Amino acid sequence: MMKIVLLTALGVGGATIFGSLIGFVFRNISHKFSDIVLSFAAGVMLSAAVLGLILPSLNYGGTHGLLVSIIGIFTGAVCLNLIDKLVPHLHRLVGTDTETHHSTNLDKVLLFVTAIAIHNLPEGIAAGVSFGSEDTAQAMMIACGIALQNIPEGMVIIAPMLAAGVSPVKTFVCAMVTGLIEVVGTLLGYWAVSIASAILPFALAFAGGTMLYVISDEMIPETHAHGSETGATYALLAGFCVMLVSDFFLG
């Protein structure tokens, strides 16, 4: 199992690096394309959060499962909300116009990259915690949803850093660090539930709450900010249904 977790961690973190490479090659990717990809990932993550994390939390929680799950969901959301207050995320830092990228100063860009790195930690933890349920297929789907989200996130790191005068090598290193943070989070989440199985119901719900918060607070507003609301909505539904079909056949 540990080998699978490690490979998954590298895959989740590597998705950010892969996205950054796309960002180098295609520096003017349309918002519409990015929004569709991000919305599809949001749909996968939404389904994964409910089917792969919150419902198993109820099942593992015993007689107090419902209360533990609710507390876990809100605790996860509140933790990310506190992180947001300390370090604002994507759309609050970079804005929605391409011109904003070119006028962004270096301090703001570094804050932007730091924000992505910090937000990647709980996402990685969610991927790691999901393996604690011992449902490998479900855990892999959760990891795939997070990885899908990381690709466009990695893409948007590149343009503002290059525009701020950061060298291509340093830009890629920064992107790689944000991905490695997620690797650490995945291993941390798996380690936590491995040594203390009693916290598994709460940890699953906590991870589900963090994913729901990211979807509602970050992903949906970002994908609805550039005039692609209809396409983004259907992409989210498609992602949700893909995960639903996968759960049906693998469950």
DSSP for 30-87, written as a single string? -HHHHHHHHHHHHHHHHHIIIIIIIHHHHHHTGGGHHHHHHHHHHHHHHHHHHHHHHS
Q: Please report whether residue 103 resides in a domain.
A: yes
40 is a domain residue = no
Measured CA to CA, the distance from residue 157 to residue 113 in angstroms comes to: 7
Residue 234: predicted pLDDT: 96
- Identify the CA nearest to 210 among candidates 174, 182, 235: 182
Say whether 232 sits in a helix, a strand or coil: helix
Which pLDDT value is given to residue 167? 83
**Measured between alpha carbons, how far is 41 from 52 in angstroms, rounded to an integer?**
15
Domain that holds residue 234: 2-25+52-250
- Flag whether 215 is in a domain: yes
This prediction has a pTM of 0.74
Domain-embedded: residue 84? yes
In a domain, 42, yes or no: no
* Per-residue pLDDT tens listing for the chain (251 residues): 677 888 888 888 888 888 888 888 876 667 788 788 888 888 888 888 888 889 888 888 777 788 999 999 999 999 888 877 776 554 444 444 444 444 445 666 666 667 677 767 877 888 888 887 677 777 887 788 788 777 877 776 777 777 777 788 888 888 888 888 888 888 888 888 877 777 888 988 998 898 899 889 888 988 888 888 999 999 999 989 988 887 777 65
Written as six digits, the tokens of 140 are 């892999």
Q: Domain tally for the chain? A: 1
Q: How far apart (Å, rounded) are the C-alpha atoms in residues 151 and 33?
A: 12
